[in-house]
Structure 1
Amino acid sequence: MSRKLPTEIDALIAELKPDEASSTPLYIQLAENITDAIRAGRWLPGEALPPERVLAQSVAVSRVTTRKAVELLIDRGILTTRQGSGTFVARPMEHPATTLASFSEEIRARGMTPGSKWLSRELSIATPEEALSLGLAPGTAIARLSRLRLADDEVMAIEVSALPSRYLPDPTVLEDSLYSYMRGQGTAPVRALQHIRAVNATERQATLMGVKPGLALLYISRIAFLPGGSAVEFTRSYYRGDRYDLVSELSRGTEVRGAPAVDFAS
């Protein structure tokens, strides 16, 4: 629900009206006007926009024009829809590049409700990539967890985690947070190595996320380690590029003793 008074909403909607004399299509004008209002702080993240019918009547355009403008902004990640609730200003998500935290911890820190939708929880044989990342011999058994990660019931990422089976002998006991379970078992990681690159959503990934194929995704592969240095978790995550920003804090010392190592993995 919007926190604005009806008079405030009416005044704001009036400012969104497209210019019929302009050569720019009305739906693009409307989309740009809504974007400008959001960037100016007139509509805040999480606030609801008026229903499509109300918005169309208020700015004197057709519902088809309004629908095209809203769909364009959803594709751009500026707006989001919740089934049965309406259209809302999207909350931009930031993924810290310097903090080892679970997805659930990150989402709660932003005042949202984390969730998961399991795709599979199984014991299997490690793939060559999983065995290499976890320092395991070929043919070693692992626990593999595949799931959708949600924030306020909206799919944000696809995540596939692999652990040596000795750390999770029965994957079906895991209900939600993997790191909460690992803390309870005394096997929580203390550091991790991440590789990050951009990829495009495949047909299957797009279907699972409810987005268009080819959407830019932020792919993060992470190997997490125990205090003794053993690899305990190998996770591959595909975050929606229209909802996530990668954030890191950099500092420069008084002396520069060589350039940092940068891995441009492809």
Structure 2
Amino acid sequence: MATPKTYVTNIELDHNSPVPLYHQIAEPIKELILDGTIPAGAKLEDELSMASRLGVSRPTARRALQALVDLRLVVRKRAVGTIVAPKEIHRQVRLSSLYDDLKQTGQKPTTEVISYEEVSPDEEVSADLRLDKDAKVIKVVRLRLANGEPLAIMTNYLPLEVAPSEKELRSGGLYDAIRRNGDEVFSAQQTISARKARTEEAETLQEPRGAAILTLRRISYNRSGTPIEIGDHVYRASRYKFTISL
């Protein structure tokens, strides 16, 4: 494995300023990480080098790096150093697909269809979709990746008449596919919660066993108020957060 490039940031400190020195160090580095100048995976200089170069105490340099850790912009790895973390994905809670949200924020979304099958739904799914007793649904399980990294496992249940094909779901978002097939998601009811990942989920999402994950259950309706989709999704809490405007 190649050694990550070490970034040394040119910072001018004002020792007469009321702004703490650690903050004067952390802020410029934070901005360079956020605008992509210092990329994910890059290594920052260690606290000893930083303290010597900038003429500050080692505890001040350590506190500056810790401030970046607290913001989840960097991680400190034993025997490796301080590494810039992958960008978290912040998703505004709204009626849109994860695929579209990732594209709009400059990410590169891809999809792996884990399974696609016609099944008899359980009582809860059948009731939520208002189906007849013997009706079947399409159950599709997908892994959504952002820039090649696993982000979410998405399980969806769709009535046969609105379900896109497996091929459509491999190349785009669910809601776009539904629109192309003549229907549209107009409103939804959803619940967001959190729990620990099951073993298989943790392996698929490349998280430690028992890691925290976010869950979302959404029932979507078309313009006439007919339920046309149920989504049971799990997201990596280490890479993903929802934002809600009230």
Query: Do the two structures share a fold, i.e. TM-score over 0.5?
Result: yes
Aligned Cα RMSD in Å? 3.5
Q: Which of 201, 204, 225 does residue 200 from structure 2 map onto?
A: 204
Please state whether the residue corresponding to 1:40 is helix, strand or coil. Answer: helix
Offset, 1:218: 1.2
Q: Which of 128, 138, 146 does residue 143 from structure 1 map onto?
A: 138
Name 2:221's counterpart in structure 1.
225
Distance 1:105 1:51, change over 3 A: closer
Please state whether the residue corresponding to 1:147 is helix, strand or coil. Answer: strand
**What amino acid maps onto 2:145 in structure 1?**
L
Please state whether the residue corresponding to 1:214 is helix, strand or coil. Answer: coil
Contact 2:158–2:229, Cα closer than 8 Å, also in 1: yes
In the alignment, the residues of structure 1 paired with residue 220 and residue 167 of structure 2 have an alpha-carbon distance, to the nearest angstrom, of: 21
In the alignment, the residues of structure 2 paired with residue 77 and residue 208 of structure 1 have an alpha-carbon distance, to the nearest angstrom, of: 23
Please state whether the residue corresponding to 1:43 is helix, strand or coil. Answer: helix
Offset, 1:45: 6.1
Q: Which of 152, 177, 182 does residue 157 from structure 1 map onto?
A: 152
Name 1:186's counterpart in structure 2.
182
Offset, 1:221: 0.2
Offset, 1:174: 3.5
**Aligned sequence identity (%):** 23
Offset, 1:216: 1.3
In the alignment, the residues of structure 1 paired with residue 161 and residue 200 of structure 2 have an alpha-carbon distance, to the nearest angstrom, of: 31
Contact 1:190–1:227, Cα closer than 8 Å, also in 2: yes
Matched, 1:115 2:106: no
In the alignment, the residues of structure 2 paired with residue 39 and residue 158 of structure 1 have an alpha-carbon distance, to the nearest angstrom, of: 33
**Per-residue CA distance 1:2-29 (angstroms, 9 max, x = gap):** xxxx9x933469xxxxxxxxxxxxxxxx
Distance 1:77 1:234, change over 3 A: farther
In the alignment, the residues of structure 2 paired with residue 169 and residue 104 of structure 1 have an alpha-carbon distance, to the nearest angstrom, of: 15
Please state whether the residue corresponding to 2:193 is helix, strand or coil. Answer: strand
In the alignment, the residues of structure 1 paired with residue 74 and residue 129 of structure 2 have an alpha-carbon distance, to the nearest angstrom, of: 39
In the alignment, the residues of structure 2 paired with residue 134 and residue 157 of structure 1 have an alpha-carbon distance, to the nearest angstrom, of: 23
Name 1:65's counterpart in structure 2.
none
**What amino acid maps onto 1:89 in structure 2?**
A
Contact 1:38–1:44, Cα closer than 8 Å, also in 2: no
Distance 1:134 1:79, change over 3 A: farther
Name 1:44's counterpart in structure 2.
34
Task: Say which is worse superposed, 139-148 or 170-179, in terms of deviation.
Answer: 170-179
Matched, 1:134 2:142: no
Please state whether the residue corresponding to 1:143 is helix, strand or coil. Answer: strand
Given the two structures, how large is their TM-score scaled by the length of structure 1?
0.65
Matched, 1:103 2:98: yes
List alignment gaps of at least 5 residues for structure 1.
1-5, 14-32, 61-72, 81-86, 251-266
Offset, 1:78: 4.3
Please state whether the residue corresponding to 2:34 is helix, strand or coil. Answer: coil
In the alignment, the residues of structure 1 paired with residue 91 and residue 42 of structure 2 have an alpha-carbon distance, to the nearest angstrom, of: 31
Aligned residues: 205
Name 1:167's counterpart in structure 2.
162
